[in-house]
Amino acid sequence: MQNILEFLNRDFLGNEVWRWLITPLIILLLMVLLQVLRRVFARRIRKFAEHTKTQVDDLVADLLESTKPLLLAFIALYAGSLVLTLEQGLNDALRTAAIIAALIQAAVWAVKILLFMLRTYVEGTNEDKASTQSAMATLGFIVRIAVWAVIGVLILDNIPGVEVSSLVAGLGITGIAVALAMQNILGDLFGSLSILLDKPFIVGDVITVGSMTGTVEHVGLKTTRVRSLQGEELVFSNSDLLNSRIQNFKRMEERRGVLRLGVTYETPYEKLERLPAVIQEVFDSQQDVRLDRAHFAAMGDFALEFEIAFYVLSADYKTFMDIQQVILLALFRRFQEEQVEFAYPTQVLYVNQNSAG
């Protein structure tokens, strides 16, 4: 027994033997304990989250589940090393490794928390799933770059011998040069962010840009893809798209139409006076349409012109055309019943038969 005690108290590399023996045991026990606590708490919080409407508890469970075993290993290693009396350089190396592991884990947590907050905001302002996915893809890319850039600087700051201030200054100058060289790409990137947050249109909207019309299929980091009415794919850069005048037809609640009808100059005054009432009757007999006005508008070169303005109570273009077709057919029938003739380009030649001589 005496020999065992003497062996355990014998000095080895600056520490008693018993300290060297107990350190791996402490490290192992701490690793197992931390891992078990992580799984137990994550499982219980996840089960609790199934019975609540809030998503905060789901976020907490995700944070616990995303805790890296590497972080727990470095925490256990650093805690176990406190039992030993180590050289200052080795002790600093272990502390630096633990800090770096903690910073890496902090970056993982920060990305999850920020994306959770952004997703909550985007879903609260936009019910369209496709648009939400596009928004989160863009925002996730930006958030990850920003978080890991900050964490990268903090990691370098904790590495002995690395001068962060000069590095940051150099990166700042490099960043300015890169930003100037990539200003078009960055303009498209921030244009994508503006589209996704300000939402001048979303995936599925029918828009017109200049003379081109189509359905928005995808909003990416650099470009927006639109499927034209003819079937081809139109690709717009996000910055150019935001600098253009955009007509969004998807957000229309109703469509306005204007018809111009011409009747012959031989139409009697009484019938001409009655035609606005006839037009009103035609519109009153139709559903999902509202007559705005019907007027005898002009005396044209070969016709007496009537202008009709109306609204179809639907934003769908096919519905608009179907209703307009029914109205035109009904007007044609009623004009026939009223014995009113539609005008077409004609020319009347008057010949004077009383010639001299």
pTM of the model: 0.50
Q: What is the pLDDT of residue 289?
A: 92
Same domain membership, residue 264 and residue 228 = no
Nearest by Cα to 15 from 90, 122, 69, 73: 90
In a domain, residue 344? The reply is: no
Same domain membership, residue 227 and residue 121 = no
Question: pLDDT digit of tens for each residue in the chain (357 aa)?
Answer: 656 666 556 666 566 666 667 777 877 888 888 778 878 877 887 787 777 777 777 777 778 777 777 777 777 777 777 766 666 667 777 778 878 888 888 888 888 888 888 777 766 665 556 656 666 777 777 788 888 888 888 887 777 766 666 666 666 666 666 555 555 666 676 777 777 777 788 888 888 888 888 888 888 777 888 998 888 999 988 888 888 888 887 777 888 899 999 999 989 999 999 999 999 999 999 889 999 999 999 998 889 999 999 999 988 888 999 999 999 999 999 999 999 999 888 776 777 766 554
Q: What is the pLDDT of residue 291?
A: 93
In a domain, residue 231? The reply is: yes
CA distances to 83, 193, 219, 250, 318 from 198, in Å: 57, 8, 13, 16, 29
The Cα–Cα gap between 341 and 328 comes to 14
CB atoms within 10 A of CB 294: 21
Same domain membership, residue 142 and residue 197 = no
Same domain membership, residue 283 and residue 260 = yes
Same domain membership, residue 141 and residue 28 = yes
Same domain membership, residue 141 and residue 16 = yes
Q: How many domains does the chain have?
A: 3
Same domain membership, residue 225 and residue 315 = no
The Cα–Cα gap between 21 and 105 comes to 30
Q: What is the pLDDT of residue 296?
A: 93
Residue 215: domain span: 187-248
